[in-house]
Amino acid sequence: MNTLASPNKKNPKKPRHKRWFLGFLVFSMIAAFLLTESRLVLDEPESKMDDPTLHADCGVVLTGSSGRIREAIEILAQKRIKKLIVSGVFKEAQLNEIFPHLAFYPEISDQDIYLEKKSATTYGNAIQSLALVEALRCRDIVLVTSQIHMYRANRIFTHIFPSTIPIKKMSVPNKKDFTFFDYLLETLKVTLYWALGLVY
């Protein structure tokens, strides 16, 4: 009896090694991508109120962490923007409920603030805000959101808005309020939006 192995018989260990190498390669690529995105989230600079570039026809502030609406109201009061869109407001909410200190800003007219109540996600914020921006004939906007959220928000708005409407960023400082897991979650959201083709 011939005890030599058939030349066509495959080595059972070889496919396992190939699968292990392929899995390691895919894992390494994913890890590198997540690390790059996390750095971009972390490195988003905070905006300064005295920044002379923070002027536009309209402002769009995304509801969420504290401080966003207050900062947006401030630049409206300073006449850096003419109209303010508050995007992602609860359907039943009124302006005096989401910003009860508005009475201390007599220079602001209620008619200059628009509550967008249809969106529930950052992508929805961009879609619904664009409709209002176009209706108000805004030539450019200041996008206001928190520092940790700005990288993803700006990518989404840039993806949705036409290039004829420049977007200026106003990042509200809040890095100290977030943990490692908050940054990890934000990084995963950025990655998900990218995987779904919702951002460039």
CATH of the domain at 167: 3.40.50.620
Region of 138 on the Ramachandran plot (φ > 0 left; ψ -120 to 50 alpha; else beta):
beta
Look at residue 157 and tell me if it is in a domain. yes
| The dihedral sign for the CA sequence 71, 181, 125, 102 | negative
pLDDT tens digits along 89-143: 999 999 989 999 999 999 999 999 999 999 999 999 999 999 999 999 999 999 9
Look at residue 49 and tell me if it is in a domain. no
Predicted structure pTM score: 0.79
**Nearest CA-CA partner of 109 in 137, 87, 77, 81:** 77
Look at residue 35 and tell me if it is in a domain. no
Look at residue 78 and tell me if it is in a domain. yes
Range of the domain at 163: 58-195
User: Which of the two residues, 110 and 14, has the higher pLDDT score?
Assistant: 110
pLDDT tens digits along 39-58: 666 777 778 777 888 899 99
* Residue ranges in the chain assigned as alpha helix (H): 13-42, 68-77, 95-98, 122-135, 147-160, 180-195
Q: Do 88 and 63 form a contact (C-beta atoms < 8 A)?
A: yes
Q: Do 199 and 159 form a contact (C-beta atoms < 8 A)?
A: yes
User: CA-to-CA distance for 64 and 68, rounded, in angstroms?
Assistant: 7
Look at residue 37 and tell me if it is in a domain. no
User: Which of the two residues, 102 and 8, has the higher pLDDT score?
Assistant: 102
Across residues 176-188, what is the average pLDDT?
79
Q: Do 165 and 139 form a contact (C-beta atoms < 8 A)?
A: yes
Look at residue 18 and tell me if it is in a domain. no
User: CA-to-CA distance for 134 and 124, rounded, in angstroms?
Assistant: 16
Look at residue 64 and tell me if it is in a domain. yes
Average pLDDT, the chain: 84
DSSP string across 126-176: HHHHHHHHHHTT-S-EEEEEEHHHHHHHHHHHHHHS-TTS-EEEEEEP-GG
Domain count for the chain: 1
Look at residue 22 and tell me if it is in a domain. no
